[in-house]
Structures are given as structure tokens and as C-alpha cells.
Structure 1
Amino acid sequence: MTLLLGLAVLVILLAAAKGFAGADPRGVAKGARIAGGVAALGGAAFLVARGQIGIGLPLGLTGLGLLGWLPFGGATFGQRTQKTPGQVSRVRSTFLEMELDHDTGAMRGRVVAGRFAGAPLDGLDTATLTGLLADMDEESRTLLAAYLDRRSPGWREHAQGGSTAGQGGAASSGKMTEQEAYQILGLEPGATAEDIGRAHRLLMKKLHPDQGGSTYLAARVNEAKEVLLRGHR
């Protein structure tokens, strides 16, 4: 019995491999998933037949998941828990546009008004950036201070007097719109309450003081969550 199962799995795998050459990438991925599912089921049957149920049962469930024969739609555990890569949060003020990468927690941005309009912040040295603080509104200063805290933690010690303004939580420039809220949380319109909660939790971890976060950005993330969740109540 186990020999026949093994031969059947081998034949299916060989047939799938033969079709890989002329298949498109999506077809190859689907074929590999099916072949993996069949192989896992065959291996599970072999192990169960030998009395190794503790190993065979989880392997069989994995095979069923790959073939899409389980209630959760065939996604593996890793796929169901995996974060969506490449998500970023965007915050804009009068003078700056800032992005926070969800995966790495890195901040980047550019100047959108004033003498250095269009210049990326990474392309300006710390002295130049601190010099811009005096010309900015409070919200932009707070945003730039949050960026500098991550890029150059000791910048405040070398800044001049009023240049360090904005290190607290500045008030928002106006009532946050849903579009702004989606950008801040890095979500697309129509996101579910679960998506909103997940993005909020992830961002709050990235904005923790130990990670170089700021009260201002944390407040904006909290506000974005509240704005979007109103539509789900």
C-alpha cells in the first residue's frame, strides 16, 4: 500500500516538473503548491501507515492547506500571519512630507516648501536641517525634530536656542480627513477594522520612545485610528 502511494506521488511530481518549462510564473507557483500538497499527503499517509501519527497528522494538515481543502482557504500558517511588505505611513505638514517604513521603522522625507523645496531630508546635513527649524510652523518643526531624533540623536545638544522648538506634541493643522488617516496608517480605502487595529499596533511599536519615536507622531497615529474606526461603529 505505501509503495503504491509513493509511486503515485512520484508520477504526479514528475508530471508537474515537466510542465514547468513552458508555464508562466503564476502557473508554476500554483503547480508547485499543488505538488507540495500531494507530496505532503503522500508522506503523511506513509507515516500514518507506519504508526507515526504524531508526525503524519500535522504533515497531512499542511498538505490539505496547500491544496485549499481546509476552511481557511488553503493559506499556510505563515501566509496568514505574514505582514504585508512595503507598507509606509505618510504625514504631511506645510513644509515637510514624511514617510515611516512599517517593516524597518526607518523615517525618510523631503522638504515641500521654502528654500530647499524638493530636497530629500537624507540629502541635507544636520546643521542645515536644524537651521530650517526657525523658518517652519510648529507642526513642521515637530515633524522635523522627530526625524532628527532618529537620524542624529544628539542634535539637540548642538542646536541653537529656539531651534529646538517643537520637541513636544504639536497640534494638528486641522481636522484629519479619512484620506490623511489612511496615508498615516499606510492603508488603502476600505480597510477593515482588523486591518486598522493591526496597522495601529505595529506603528505604535515602531514609535515607542526606545525606538526613537515621538509624541507627535504617536498622536497622529492614534487620531488616524479613531477617524477610520468611526466608520465601523
Structure 2
Amino acid sequence: MSPPARTIDEPIVIAGHLTSIRWRRSQRARRVALKIDPQAGGIVITLPPRGSRRAGLALLRGHEAWVADRLAALPALTTIAPGGTIPIFGEPHVIVQDAAHRGAPVIGSSKILVSGQPEFLARRVRDALHALATERFSDQARDKAKRIGVTPNHIRVKDTKSRWGSCTAEGILMFSWRLIMAPDFVQDYVIAHEVAHLRYMNHAPEFWRLTERLTPHRAPAMTWLSVQGPGLLRIV
């Protein structure tokens, strides 16, 4: 197994605005790579083992207009706080803090009821959504896997920054808990996509045919994630 990527953050000015670069050096990288981190609202530059900072900066400056446009297009941060609103299954839910409530947060049709002190509210809401996502995604993934005669070795739900889902060669499926905030049809597509990878670890035509056997929502879900997905990563 390759060692984990090392990261270093530094400030930088792009098109007159202060932002940050997260430098990553990865043993798996084959070339310098540039991307936007929607969650942090900054830039990520990945260097291969012998890649130089100069090469990374040259790539950034060569794409500075693109980077500036992408950063400017990021949605505003949404804070999980009393009275705030976040989506669940694509529908807005108001966060209601109630000191008299006891136990875990209760997710209703239009609100999330949370007890406890304000400083712990965001964590409690995230934990509740993580638990809901784990139960829902696990059930749906196993159901779809059964339909095509495969079995995932494990299903994990995490807070990822760049992928809504993934499948390893060992048959481990991973989904972002933030996907629980997306509409049902989007969840259905992402789960189908990753389950199809249990059969085909590529994006060949056979893979896409299998994905479309498992879900009818490929095109609208991909469009939704492209347009609305960054907003889910901006909820903190």
C-alpha cells in the first residue's frame, strides 16, 4: 500500500483575491494535477514524487482565469445552526433547537429537532445525517447488488471532498454522507453506479449498460450533481 499523501497549505492571491493552495505530494500521482476544493473554497495541487513546486505554480498560473472563475462560482457557505435550513432528500429542513427534547435528533418532513448545547448542534446534526445515510445507502446498495448477483464486501459512509461514491478492487463501496441531502433520484444513480463497479471496474460500454439497468436516472442525476453538488460540500 502506498503511503498517504502529505499536505501543506499556503495562502495565495488569485485574480486579486486571497485564497489558499493545499499542496499534496502523492506516491500514486503520475503528473501535476490542479483542482478546486469546493468544501474548503481553495485550490489543491497534487505533485508526483519528483514533481516540483515550480511546476505546480506554472500549471496554476497557466489556468488562473479558470481557477478564478471556479472559485467565484462556488456557493456561499451554509452553516448548520439553529434556525438554519439544510436539504434532506432535496427538500429544505429547518434546524430547530429544543432544550426540552431528549435523545438523538429527530428528522421530520420539514424540520430537524435537536437537543443539547448550541456548540454541539452542528456535530449532532451531521451525526444524525451520517447514520441515516449509512442505513439507507447500505440497504439500497445491497438490494441493487443482489439484482445482478454480486455482493459488496463492505459499505462505508464518509465525508469525502471529491467523490460522491467509489468502489475498490476489494469490493468495498464508499458513499459520501452528504449525498443524503440530494434528491432520491440522485442517490439512486450514485448507488447504482458504484454497485455496477462490483462487476466492471472501468467505464466501458458494458459498465454503462449495467448502470442503466440499475437506475433510470443517469442523465438527470449527473446534471444535478454538476450544478447543485458543490452546494452540498459548502454546508458546514
| Max Rg structure | 1
- Provide the TM-score with structure 1 as the length reference: 0.19
Higher-RCO chain (CA-CA 8 Å, sequence separation at least 6): 2
Structure with a larger share of its residues in helix? 1
